[in-house]
Amino acid sequence: MAGPSPAGAALLGFGILALLIGANAWAFTTLGHTSYFLWYLKNGSTIALGASFLGLIWDGLALHEDLLSAHPLKYLRGCVGLLSVLFYAGSAHLSSPLQGTKSTDLGLGSAAAVLFDAIVSVLVLALIGAVVVGWLLVVAPLNYFVTLLSGVLARQELRGQALRAIVVPSGGGITLGTQPAQASLPENAVDVSLARKPFAVTQAITSLILWLAGMAVPLIR
C-alpha cells in the first residue's frame, strides 16, 4: 500500500502541529490562565539555549537533519526520534547499575553509596524524561515555525550548498580560505563555518530570535 503523497504528508504534519498548538492554547488559557504564545516567547529563548547543548553532544546523530527540516512530518519524526533515543539511553543506564563495580568495592559504606546513586539516578532520569516529553508536546509545535527561519543556515550546510570556511595557521599568522563542504580538510586547517554544528547553531539562533521577539512584545502591546 502506497504511503501519502508529498503534499499529503506535509498536510498531515501541519495538521498534527495545529492540533498540538490548539490543545496547548486551550490548556494554558483554561488551566493556567495565561497565553500559550506569550509563555513560549518568554521561555522559548532559554529552552532553545539549553537544547543547543544537545547539539554539542549528539551533533552526529542523523535525526538532527529531521529536527531542522522544513517538512513538518520529518520535523515531528525527528522530535519523536530524539525522545526515543533519550529514553533508550536512560534505560540502558539503568539496566545494569552495578556493572563494572568490583566486589571489593561493595563494603558497607560503598554499598550505601551505590544504593543512593541508583535511587537518585532513577529520579534524575525520570525528571529528564518528563522535561523532554513536555518539550515534545508544548515547545516543539511552535518551535517548528521558528526553525523555518533559524534553521536556514543549517539546512544549506546539510545540503552542501554552503562553502566551508577554513583557517590555516601560516607562520605567525593565519590564512583564510574556502572549500567545498564535501572536500577533506587540509592538514592543520580549522573549519570555522557558521553552521558546522547545525543543530547547536540553529538552537542558538532560535534563542536569539525568541529573545528579540520577547523584547518586542511589550513595545507592541
- CA pair distance 19, 14, nearest whole angstrom: 9
Check residues 89 and 221 and name the one with the higher pLDDT. Answer: 89
- Residue 174, φ and ψ in degrees, nearest 5: -135, 155
**What are the helix and strand counts (H, E) for the chain?**
8, 3
What pLDDT is attached to residue 28? 95
- Mean pLDDT to the nearest integer, 164-179: 83
Q: Is the pLDDT of residue 130 over 60?
A: yes
CA 37 and chain centroid, separation = 20
What pLDDT is attached to residue 31? 92
Global pTM reads 0.79
User: CB-based contacts of 165: which residues, under 8 Å, 6+ apart?
Assistant: 176, 177, 178, 191, 192, 193, 194
- CA pair distance 103, 168, nearest whole angstrom: 52
User: CB-based contacts of 85: which residues, under 8 Å, 6+ apart?
Assistant: 58, 61, 63
Taking a C-beta distance cutoff of 8 angstroms, is the pair 156, 32 a contact?
Answer: no
The predicted-structure confidence for 9-49, as pLDDT tens digits, reads as follows 889 999 999 999 999 999 999 998 999 999 998 888 888 87
